[in-house]
């Protein structure tokens, strides 16, 4: 049974009643202990960087700015959102496989901390823009490893990929980039897989990173300012998933990390954990109201005001091979359980948020809450499809609720 938490239910009910549904509620009180735990367990080796692609909500970004040292943006639009939310550009890195000239120019003019170079083309373009603007731009070079250990829910390594410079090509590419006069190689970056709930696989993956970092730094005589570890830390999404044990990760990775940090070449190097979902995913709930109930050929269906259009990931269409239910509960609890399908308002059979979910009897007007919704929510969903209202976004801090809905789309256009 998916047991409701009464504090959360109180917040979700208030948010739905005051601001309407569908809504995402981000409870900052649930993020604070996650940051503290990361710092306690891994802070000896790593600083944190928030990958804002997982949740670019302006209210959340402002809240995080006071609490996390770095941010990673993946477009010019994300950079502007971060700056508007109070992040100085020099605390940002900029990843992404398709950086347009207008974005690179703006980022360099804003004083971007580090450009994450994903290709020789990124480097050449950035070099000529930096030359025009009379700057030297710090870059970290993203390397695409040739393998990722088993156990990662989402893997990018060892096959053709648009991301980063393939490890086979890295020595030549680094030599070329080092010769560009308006770029300074400040470090290296790897992100090769994510959604891993297995400590041993994470530790093995970081071991692969350290081998690559060490080899390339020795070969090119780099004393990097920064090495960025795309963390890969996963979160429990589905009933039965066990949360990742960070203590186990720290214990198993500690000796390797200690030895790495003790190498003279890395004595001044900052190691950075770049992560998104692990920080904010479990702190978010998606709440949708049941618009009607249908009994159809032996199945009870709750048809809700928000579905796949508001929460693509929970519908199973955001990179999931097999659709599995997220953890779902009926707000307010109730006695007994019976299976019910949860669907959304779209005219397509793939608009389903839950299949045979065991819940106390659900009726029209009830609120349904989907857990682990703080990352890859509205910004990863087709919110315009069939022109239903876009979901509200509410920041819950202590007893306070703040409507932080992102009103308009953004993006840096070259027209």
Q: Is 193 within 8 Å of 157 (Cβ atoms)? A: yes
51 touching ligand PLP, by CB under 6 A: yes
Q: Map residue 358 onto helix, strand or coil.
A: strand
Which residue in 50, 191, 213, 237 binds ligand PLP (CB under 6 A)? Answer: 191
Cα dihedral 140→143→149→154 (10° resolution): 80
- Smallest distance, ligand PLP to C-beta of residue 110, A: 20
Q: Cβ closer to ligand PLP: 271 or 359?
A: 271
Pick the binder of ligand PLP from 8, 283, 367, 375 (CB under 6 A): 375
Residues 6 or more apart in contact with residue 310 via CB below 8 angstroms: 22, 286, 288, 344, 377, 378, 381, 383, 388, 390, 391
Whichever of 82 and 302 has its CB closer to ligand PLP, that residue is: 82
Interface map 95-114 toward ligand PLP (x if CB under 6 A): x-------------------
Q: Please tell me what DSSP assigns to residue 45.
A: T
366 binds ligand PLP (CB under 6 A): no
Residue 194, interface with ligand PLP (CB under 6 A)? Answer: yes
250 backbone dihedrals φ, ψ, rounded to 5°: -60, -45
Residue 4 or 234 having the CB closest to ligand PLP:
234
Which residues ranging from 276 to 315 are in contact with ligand PLP (CB under 6 A)? 276-278
Interface residue with ligand PLP among 103, 110, 118, 274 (CB under 6 A) is: 274
Q: Which among 46-54, 125-133, 253-261, 390-398 is the span making contact with ligand PLP, rule CB under 6 A?
A: 46-54
Size of the site for ligand PLP (CB under 6 A): 16
Among the candidate windows 82-90, 106-114, 273-281, 395-403, which touches ligand PLP by CB under 6 A? 273-281
Which of these, 64, 111, 45, 88, lies nearest to 283 by C-alpha position?
A: 64
Q: How far is the CB of 60 from ligand PLP (least distance, A)?
A: 14
Residue 69 burial (CB count, 10 A) = 12
b/e per residue, 149-183, with b = 16+ CB within 10 A? Answer: bebbbebbbeeeeebbbbbeebeebbeebeebebb
State which residue, 159 or 415, has the beta carbon closest to ligand PLP. Answer: 159
| Cα separation, 92 vs 76, whole angstroms | 12
Residues 61-90 that bind ligand PLP (CB under 6 A): 72
> Is residue 149 near ligand PLP by the rule CB under 6 A?
no
**Interface with ligand PLP by CB under 6 A: which range of 117-125, 242-250, 274-282, 285-293?**
274-282
Closest to ligand PLP by CB, 231 or 342: 231
Query: Strand pairing of 152-155 and 193-196?
Result: antiparallel
Residue nearest ligand PLP, Cβ-based: 276
Pairing of strands 392-397, 400-403: antiparallel
Cβ density class 357-369: b for 16+ within 10 Å, e for less: bebbebeeebbbb
Nearer to ligand PLP among residue 19 and residue 163 (C-beta): 163
Residue 244 exposure: Cα atoms within 13 Å on the Cβ side: 30
The single residue listed with the structure tokens 């949360």 is 243
Interface pick for ligand PLP out of 79, 112, 197, 275 (rule CB under 6 A) = 275
In the complex with ligand PLP, which residue's Cβ is closer, 114 or 274?
274
Q: How far is the CB of 210 from ligand PLP (least distance, A)?
A: 18
* Strand (E) or helix (H) holding 259: helix 246-262
**54 interacts with ligand PLP by CB under 6 A:** yes
* Residue 42 engages ligand PLP in binding (rule: CB under 6 A): no
Q: Which is nearer to ligand PLP, 143 or 342 (CB)?
A: 143
Phi then psi for residue 61, to 5 deg, are -60, -45
Nearer to ligand PLP, 156 or 174 (CB): 156
Instruction: Of 118, 120, 109, 269, give the one whose Cα is nearest residue 180.
Output: 120
With respect to ligand PLP, which residue has the nearer C-beta, 19 or 191? 191
Is the CB of 237 or the CB of 285 nearer to ligand PLP?
Answer: 237
Backbone angles phi, psi at 301, to 5 degrees: -120, 130
Dihedral of CA atoms 159, 162, 164, 167 in degrees, nearest 10, equals 30
Q: Which two tokens stand for residue 54?
A: 């997982």
Residue 117 near ligand PLP by CB under 6 A = no
Among 230, 360, 377, 391, binds ligand PLP (CB under 6 A): 230
Q: Give me the residues that bind ligand PLP (CB under 6 A), please.
A: 51, 53-54, 72, 95, 191, 194-195, 230-231, 274-278, 375
């Amino acid at each position: 049974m998916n047991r409701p938490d009464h504090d959360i239910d109180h917040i979700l009910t208030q948010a739905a009643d005051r601001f309407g549904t569908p809504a995402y509620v981000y409870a900052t009180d649930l993020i604070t202990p996650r940051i503290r735990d990361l710092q306690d367990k891994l802070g000896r080796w790593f600083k944190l960087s928030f990958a804002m692609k997982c949740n670019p909500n302006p209210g959340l970004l402002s809240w995080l700015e006071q609490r996390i040292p770095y941010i990673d943006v993946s477009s010019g639009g994300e950079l502007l959102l971060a700056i508007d939310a109070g992040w100085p550009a020099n605390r940002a890195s900029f990843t992404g496989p398709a950086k347009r000239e207008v974005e690179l120019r703006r980022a360099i003019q804003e004083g971007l901390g580090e450009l994450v170079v994903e290709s020789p083309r990124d480097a050449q373009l950035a070099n000529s823009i930096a030359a025009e603007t009379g700057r030297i731009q710090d870059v970290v070079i993203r390397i695409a490893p040739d393998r990722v250990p088993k156990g990662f829910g989402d893997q990018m390594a060892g096959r053709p990929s648009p991301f980063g410079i393939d490890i086979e090509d890295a020595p030549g590419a680094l030599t070329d980039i080092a010769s560009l006069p308006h770029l300074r190689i400040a470090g290296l970056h790897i992100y090769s897989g994510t959604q891993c709930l297995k400590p041993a696989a994470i530790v093995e993956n970081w071991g692969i990173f350290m081998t690559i970092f060490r080899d390339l730094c020795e070969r090119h005589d780099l004393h990097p300012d920064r090495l960025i570890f795309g963390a890969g830390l996963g979160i429990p999404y589905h009933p039965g998933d066990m949360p990742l044990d960070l203590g186990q990760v720290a214990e198993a990775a500690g000796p390797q990390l200690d030895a790495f940090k003790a190498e003279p070449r890395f004595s001044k190097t900052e190691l950075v954990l770049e992560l998104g979902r692990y920080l904010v995913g479990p702190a978010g709930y998606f709440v949708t109201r049941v618009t009607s109930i249908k009994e159809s050929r032996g199945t009870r269906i709750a048809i809700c005001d928000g579905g796949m259009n508001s929460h693509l990931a929970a519908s199973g269409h955001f990179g999931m091979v097999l659709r599995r239910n997220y953890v779902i509960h009926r707000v307010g609890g109730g006695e007994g359980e019976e299976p019910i399908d949860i669907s959304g308002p779209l005219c397509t059979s793939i608009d389903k948020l839950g299949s045979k979910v065991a819940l106390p009897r659900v009726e029209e007007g009830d609120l349904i809450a989907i857990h682990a919704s703080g990352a890859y929510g509205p910004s990863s969903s087709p919110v315009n499809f069939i022109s239903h209202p876009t979901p509200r976004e509410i920041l819950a801090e202590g007893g306070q609720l703040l409507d932080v809905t992102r009103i308009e789309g953004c993006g840096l256009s070259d027209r």
